[in-house]
Amino acid sequence: MINVNEASARAVEHLKKLYPDNDLGKILFEEAELTDDDKFWVVVLSYKSPVAASGVGTSMFVGDRGYKVFKLLAETGDIRSVKNRESK
């Protein structure tokens, strides 16, 4: 099983791959939780939001930071899902 440091590092790595051509600024670790059944890590990261003027598959964010919720398999660290989260 991977630990919280490994889970957050994998989430950061995946976030950078999602936006390879964008300046994400300082990526911040916000939260992490191991599910009650010990099967998944849920990691929340915040980053400087890329603002898209237009285009298919691009996102428009309100505010300075975007938040992503990563769900990883606790055993291997494989990413199972990535979701947007509303800013705090």
pLDDT tens per residue, range 5-46: 999 999 999 999 998 988 898 999 999 999 999 999 999 999
When divided into structural domains, the chain yields a total of 1
Q: Give this prediction's pTM.
A: 0.82
Domain of residue 76, CATH code: 3.10.450
- Strands 65-73 and 79-85, by their bridges, are antiparallel
CA separation for the pair 23, 74 (Å, rounded):
29
Q: Which residues constitute the domain of residue 14?
A: 4-85
Q: Is the dihedral of CA 8, 10, 16, 17 positive or negative?
A: negative
Q: Is residue 57 scored above 90 in pLDDT? A: no
What pLDDT shows up at residue 49? 78
